[in-house]
Amino acid sequence: MNTKPHVLVLGGNFAGLGSAQKIREFAGDAVEITVIDRKNYLLFVPNIPADVFENRDPAVGQRMDLPPVLAKDGISFIQGEVTTLDVDSKTVHYTPTERPGAAPQKIAYDYLVVALGNRLAYDKIEGFDEYGDSVSDIYLGNKLRKKLWEGGYKGGPIAVGSARFHQGDGAKGLAPYPGGSIPDALAACEGPPVEVMLSVANYLKQTGQGGPDKVTVFTPAALIAEDAGEGVVGQLLDIASGMGFNYVNNGKDITRITAEGVELASGQTIEAELKIIFPDWVAHDFMRGLPISDSEGFVITDLLMKNPKYPEVFAAGDAAAVTMPKLGAIGHQECEIVGRQIACAVGRMSEAAANTPLEPVVYCIGDMGDNQAFYIRSNSWFGGDTQILKMGHVPFLLKMQYKNLFFRNQGKMPDWGLDFSELMAEKIAS
C-alpha cells in the first residue's frame, strides 16, 4: 500500500525530467514519483541542427537513457503512451509502448505534472510530406542530413521559416513583470529558424555551393523572433542583410509546399529547392477540452505553474500555456517552481521559500556554423528591461558545453550554470 503522496509526471524530456528531479531535490523522501513517457530516452532537440549541418547522426549523440537516470533518484519510470487524463478522479490512462498489443492501463495520482510538450504539426502543412524538411527530431534531421551530404541537394535556393502558431487564452492576465504580460505570438519558437538560416549558409560556403544570398528566411509575424526583443532582433537582421540573406516578414502562415517553393497566406511565394520548415506547435488532441486546458489545449496555470481550478495539477515546459515562446530554457525555470510548490504542499518547504513566481527570460544560443554562435538573453517581451545579443566563438563553446554538462550531470545543471553562461557570453565574449 502506497502511503506517501504519489506525484505523477507526464513526459520525460526537458520539463518532465527536470520537474521530477527538482521535486525529489526539494520534497526528499516525502513523495513517491513516477514518470511516464512513450520513449525511454531524453532527446536533446536543440543540438540536432548542429549535427545535421556537420553531418553527424543525432540518434548517436543526442539521446540520454532515462530509466537509469531516474532510478538514481528513486523515481519510477513507465514507458507508455498517455491517452487520457481524468482530473476529477485524479487518474491517467496510458498504454504501455514497449511491445504492440499491450492492454490499456490506468494510474492514480495525488499531484500531477503535465510536461508532455506539444505536437509539431507537420501533418497540417500540405506538401510537407513530399517536399518539406526540418531538424526537430532524429528522423527529419537525418533525412535532411542525407540530402545535404549525399548528393540529394543540387545547390538551389533554400527557404527557412515557420508556420503560424495558434496561441490559446491560457496566459491572459498574467503579469510576470510589473506592467508586463504574456503577449500573443504568431510563431511558437523562432530561434531555430534563425539558427538554421545561419548554419545552412555556412554549409553552402564550406561546400563551395554559395552563401547567404541563396537563403530566404520567412516569418508569419511582422518581426522574426519578436519575443527576443526588437532591439536584439533589429541588430541580428542588420547583420543578416549585410551578409546577403533574404528576409520575408508578414507571411501570415504557410499555405502549401510544392516542388518549386513555399506558398504563404500573404500571397507571396518563395522559390526554393530546399524548404526547411518549423510547423505549428499544437497541443495533443486529448488535452483539448479538459477542465485544465485553455482554448487551444495548453494547460492553464498561474505563475507558480499551478492550475487555478485543480491546485494539485501543475504544468511545465511547452505544454504550459504560460510558456511562450516554446523554449526549453523557460521550461527549465518552471521546473524549479514546480519542485518547490510540491515540496511546500507536502510540508517540506515554507511558503516563503516556494512562492517565487515565474519571471520568464528568453535564453537562446543558436549555432551559426563555423564554430560560431549567437547568444540572446532578453525579457522585454514580458515587460522586463533586458535585451542582450552576443555573437562569436564563446557562445558556440557554451552551446556545446551546455549539452556535455547536461549529459554528464544527467540533467541536473549546477546552480552556477546560467550565471556562468551569462558571465562567459556577456563579459568574456564582449
Residue 49 CB, shortest distance to ligand FAD, in Å, is 5
Q: Which residues pair with 269 in a beta bridge?
A: 263
User: Strand runs (DSSP E) across 181-304, as ranges?
Assistant: 215-218, 246-248, 254-257, 261-264, 269-271, 274-278, 281-282
Q: Report the distance separating Cα 37 and Cα 51, nearest Å.
A: 25
DSSP letter assigned to residue 103: P
Residue 110 CB, shortest distance to ligand FAD, in Å, is 20
Q: CA neighbours within 13 Å on the CB side: how many for 272? A: 28
Q: Which residue intervals of 119-272 are DSSP H helices?
A: 128-131, 138-149, 191-206, 230-243
Could you tell me which stretch among 7-15, 142-150, 162-170, 204-212 binds ligand FAD (CB under 6 A)?
7-15
Q: Is 37 in the site for ligand FAD (CB under 6 A)?
A: yes
Give the other-Cβ count within 10 Å of 354's Cβ: 18
Q: Which residues of 224-262 are buried (b: 16+ CB within 10 A; e: fewer)?
A: bbbbbbeebbebbbeebeeeebbebbebbbbbebeeebb
C-alpha cell at 263: 506558398
CB 346 within 8 Å of CB 30? yes
Q: Report the distance separating Cα 368 and Cα 57, nearest Å.
A: 19
Residue 238 CB, shortest distance to ligand FAD, in Å, is 22
Select 192 or 349, whichever has its Cβ closest to ligand FAD. Answer: 192
Q: Is 136 in the site for ligand FAD (CB under 6 A)?
A: yes
Q: Report the distance separating Cα 241 and Cα 365, nearest Å.
A: 20
Q: Is 82 in the site for ligand FAD (CB under 6 A)?
A: yes
Binding mask 279-298 for ligand FAD (x = CB under 6 A): -----x--------------
Q: What angle do CA 368, 373, 376 make, to 5 degrees?
A: 120
Q: Is 39 in the site for ligand FAD (CB under 6 A)?
A: yes
Could you tell me which stretch among 109-117, 199-207, 220-228, 234-242 binds ligand FAD (CB under 6 A)?
109-117
Binding mask 198-237 for ligand FAD (x = CB under 6 A): ----------------------------------------
Q: Is 318 in the site for ligand FAD (CB under 6 A)?
A: yes
Could you tell me which stretch among 30-38, 245-253, 258-266, 302-310 binds ligand FAD (CB under 6 A)?
30-38
Q: Which of 58, 176, 220, 331 binds ligand FAD (CB under 6 A)?
A: 331
| Residue type (1 letter), 271 | E
CB 105 within 8 Å of CB 84? no
Q: Which of 6, 16, 176, 236 binds ligand FAD (CB under 6 A)?
A: 16
Q: Is 9 in the site for ligand FAD (CB under 6 A)?
A: no
Kindly determine how many residues on this chain lie close enough to bind ligand FAD according to the rule CB under 6 A.
35
Select 12 or 168, whichever has its Cβ closest to ligand FAD. Answer: 12
Select 196 or 237, whichever has its Cβ closest to ligand FAD. Answer: 196
Residue 72 CB, shortest distance to ligand FAD, in Å, is 19
Q: Which residues contact 216 (CB under 8 A, 6 or more apart)?
A: 157, 158, 159, 160, 161, 245, 246, 247, 248, 270, 272
Q: Which of 30, 38, 138, 372 binds ligand FAD (CB under 6 A)?
A: 38
CB 411 within 8 Å of CB 69? yes
Q: Is 54 in the site for ligand FAD (CB under 6 A)?
A: no
Residue 179 CB, shortest distance to ligand FAD, in Å, is 25
Which residues of the chain form contacts with ligand FAD (CB under 6 A)?
A: 11-16, 36-39, 45-46, 48-49, 81-82, 115-117, 135-136, 189, 191-192, 284, 317-319, 326-329, 331, 364-365
